[in-house]
């Protein structure tokens, strides 16, 4: 008689997003939409990285509001607390505690080489703080606490994941196996959504041009207006080709929300101008985002439910992460505390 087959445990995926400002169409199609689809295949752990946010000065009332709104919006986008672990980073103290430990196993030169530190220092020259410099070990703590297998990363985060692996390998080399080494997860159909006003740049919530980005919660009329003003070219032909950055971007967005291929889009708009095309993309996006806006309106009115979700998420996250933290502290030689 053959032994019964045991199912392999699902791999752990960890990802986090900052609750600063507006969540854009680029954030949604490039990352959040993939978060939703991963929930049925992996053991997903998602966080609002509010500790990372304060490397830039925040207005307290606005920061609190943005965090609340971002939590409600991510639920509205499809994160299911019954399927995934979803919490607010600052509610789980193990993150900050492990971050300090990992600071002590990260070399100064490694942090100096981080391109994001250089970029943000140039952007905020009046506030080049130590937290901005030690941001990567906190990110490493976020990931390593949960013995993460896979981390969805964009091009701008690959360097941080490489450093996370280096820190984990260094610690494991000194103290023996402690941390799992996470690998990058490259989405099968990841979308890189560019600015509507400068399609050579990524769509960003910090763009000073209000017409450059679409917010997930934008009203349909605002979505239509922004797409009508989107930069294209003088050819007036809807086709995907090198040098047609604006049209290529719009076609990519249209494909994400309708499921149509570039060839189908080209056939649909053969003989039609950019006015028709922009209107169709705007209508498709507005309709795609409509149920998210409706769910968000329900969630944001129900503070009790939100608190229940993030409270339960924090409890579960702490229960998992404290096991890793205790193992780390024991291996280093800290005297274990008595239960409080």
State yes or no: is 327 an active-site residue. Answer: no
Q: Which is catalytic among the residues 202, 226, 244, 278?
A: 202
Q: How far apart are CA 75 and CA 90, in angstroms?
A: 18
Cross-strand bridge partners of residue 87: 47
Helix (H, G, I), strand (E, B) or coil at 68: helix
Choose, from 11, 83, 180, 205, the residue flagged as catalytic. Answer: 205
Nearest to 288 by CA among 254, 265, 260: 254
Question: 88 by DSSP, 3-state: which?
Answer: strand
Active site residue 205: yes
Residue labelled with tokens 């076609």: 251
Helices 303-332 and 158-175, interaxial angle, to 10°?
A: 40
Rounded to an integer, what is the distance from CA 111 to the centroid of its chain?
22
Residues in the chain: 340
DSSP alpha helix (H) spans, the chain: 25-27, 33-38, 50-53, 60-77, 94-103, 108-112, 115-123, 130-133, 135-144, 158-175, 220-228, 245-258, 262-268, 274-300, 303-332
Three-state secondary structure readout of 137-194: HHHHHHHHCCCCCEEECCHHHHHHHHHHHHHHHHHHHHHCCCCCCCEEECCCCCCCCE
Q: 101 is written with which tokens?
A: 């430990």
Mapping DSSP to helix (H, G, I), strand (E, B) and coil, where does residue 97 land? helix
Question: Phi and psi dihedrals of 163, rounded to 5?
Answer: -65, -40
Read off the DSSP letter of residue 89. G
Active-site option among 120, 226, 244, 278: 120
Q: What are phi and psi of 183, to 5 degrees?
A: -105, 160
Q: Which residues are catalytic?
A: 120, 202, 205
């Amino acid at each position: 008689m053959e032994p019964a087959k045991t199912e392999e445990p699902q791999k752990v995926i960890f990802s986090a997003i900052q609750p600063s400002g507006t969540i854009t169409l680029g954030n949604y199609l490039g990352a959040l939409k993939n978060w939703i689809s991963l929930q049925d295949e992996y053991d997903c752990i998602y966080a609002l990285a509010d500790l990372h946010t304060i490397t830039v000065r925040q207005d307290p009332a606005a920061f609190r509001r943005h965090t609340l709104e971002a939590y409600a919006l991510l639920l509205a986008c499809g994160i299911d607390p019954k399927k995934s672990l979803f919490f607010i980073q600052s509610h789980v103290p193990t993150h900050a505690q492990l971050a300090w430990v990992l600071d002590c196993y990260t070399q100064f030169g490694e942090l100096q080489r981080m391109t994001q530190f250089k970029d943000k220092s140039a952007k905020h020259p009046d506030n080049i703080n130590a937290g901005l410099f030690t941001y990567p070990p906190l990110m490493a703590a976020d990931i390593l606490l949960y013995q993460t297998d896979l981390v969805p990363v964009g091009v701008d985060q690959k360097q941080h994941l490489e450093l996370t692996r280096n820190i984990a390998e260094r610690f494991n080399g000194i103290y023996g196996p402690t941390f799992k080494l996470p690998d990058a997860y490259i989405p099968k159909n990841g979308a890189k959504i560019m600015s509507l006003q400068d399609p050579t740049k990524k769509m960003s919530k910090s763009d000073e041009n209000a017409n450059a980005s679409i917010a997930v919660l934008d009203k349909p009329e605002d979505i239509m207006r922004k797409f009508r003003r989107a930069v294209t070219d003088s050819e007036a032909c809807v086709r995907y080709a090198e040098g047609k950055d604006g049209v290529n971007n719009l076609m990519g967005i249209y494909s994400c929300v309708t499921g149509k291929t570039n060839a189908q889009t080209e056939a649909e708009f053969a003989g039609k101008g950019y006015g028709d095309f922009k209107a169709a993309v705007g209508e498709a996006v507005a309709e795609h985002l409509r149920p998210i806006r409706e769910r968000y309106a329900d969630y944001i009115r129900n503070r009790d439910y939100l608190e229940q979700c993030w409270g339960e998420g924090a409890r579960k996250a702490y229960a998992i992460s404290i096991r890793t933290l205790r193992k780390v502290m024991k291996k280093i030689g800290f005297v274990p505390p008595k239960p409080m």
